[in-house]
Amino acid sequence: SYALTQPPSVSVSPGQTASITCSGDKLGNKYVCWYQQKPGQSPLLVIYEDNKRPSGIPERFSGSNSGNTATLTISGTQAMDEADYYCQAWDSSTAVFGTGTKVTVL
Amino acid sequence: EVQLVESGGGLVQPGGSLRLSCAASGFTFGSYALSWVRQIPGKGLEWVSSISGSGGSTYYADSVKGRFTISRDNSKNTLYLQMNSLRVEDTAVYYCAKYGSGSSNWFDPWGQGALVTVSS
């Protein structure tokens, strides 16, 4: 079955850039979206179709996807961005989530 | 504003059954596919099942196929998940989520979740 792999954790200083990778076989041929989940909350869509931001999501969130890797980039990271982040893609009619990355803002 | 509100979670013994409901508002219910996604506390997200807007097409993860049934009542703006032969490993928070659609699909928004605990 198709699998998406993310690093378990990423640490970033406030105001710096955080990059979260998501790896899967020929992932660049699929659309990827990203969800943010803060403790005790439901997931929130932050990027869809590789690089599009839903209404209300700050411009500091951006995405890219090529080859076998998709990347979520948080520019000028703020303390409020500390959360778990999950990538997601489709394999036929099955939704596949990444393993998740905990972003810590030090 | 789009809202999804799950209900029906609780404690059930292994081998038992439970039905989750997801009441929707703020959008044309029958025009959108919906999904159930679960999360073991402290762990990652796992897609469970999806259903088309008409209800005519359904999809399941291998881990629940044959035990869970997704359905919807478009007259009541409600999504359901009938869970039978429950196992300890089905313990999780179950979220319903609306499909966004464009060139692909995504989940937006998500409900607040319903906790299902399978334990003797």
pLDDT at A32 over 80: yes
Q: How far is CA B15 from CA B30, B62, B66, B82, B88, in A?
A: 33, 18, 13, 13, 9
> What's the pLDDT at A93?
87
Partner residue facing B107 (CB), from A45, A49, A93: A45
> What's the pLDDT at A6?
98
pLDDT at A99 over 90: yes
- The single-letter code of the amino acid at B81 is L
- Flag if A49 and B104 touch (Cβ within 8 Å): yes
Q: What are the E-state strand segments in A1-106?
A: 9-12, 18-23, 33-37, 44-47, 61-66, 69-74, 83-91, 94-97, 101-105
What's the mean pLDDT when you consider all of chain B?
96
Go through A97-106 and write b for each residue having 16 or more CB atoms within 10 A of its CB, e for each that does not. bbbbbbbebe
- The single-letter code of the amino acid at A19 is S
- Sheet containing A61-66: give its strands across: A18-23, A69-74, A61-66
Q: What percent of chain B has pLDDT over 90?
A: 95
Of the pLDDT bands very low, low, confident and very high (cuts 50, 70, 90), residue A84 is very high
> What's the pLDDT at B104?
81
pLDDT at A37 over 80: yes
Give me the half-sphere count of Cα atoms (radius 13 Å) on the Cβ side of residue B72.
28
Residue A82, SS3 per DSSP: coil
If you average pLDDT over residues A27-45, what whole number do you get?
Answer: 97
Of the pLDDT bands very low, low, confident and very high (cuts 50, 70, 90), residue A49 is very high
Query: Residue with structure tokens 């929130």?
Result: A44
Using DSSP bridges, classify how beta strands A101-105 and A83-91 pair: parallel, antiparallel or unpaired.
Answer: antiparallel
pLDDT at A42 over 80: yes
What's the mean pLDDT when you consider all of chain A?
97
Q: Which of A48, A86, A92 to mutate to test the interface with B (most CBs of B within 10 A)?
A: A48
Regions in chain B scoring below 70 on pLDDT: none
Going by C-alpha positions, the residue among A96, A5, A87 that lies closest to residue B37 is A96
Contact indicator for B19, B107 with CB cutoff of 8 Å: no
- A residues 41..70 contacting B (CB < 8 A): 42-45, 48-49, 54
Contact indicator for A42, B113 with CB cutoff of 8 Å: yes
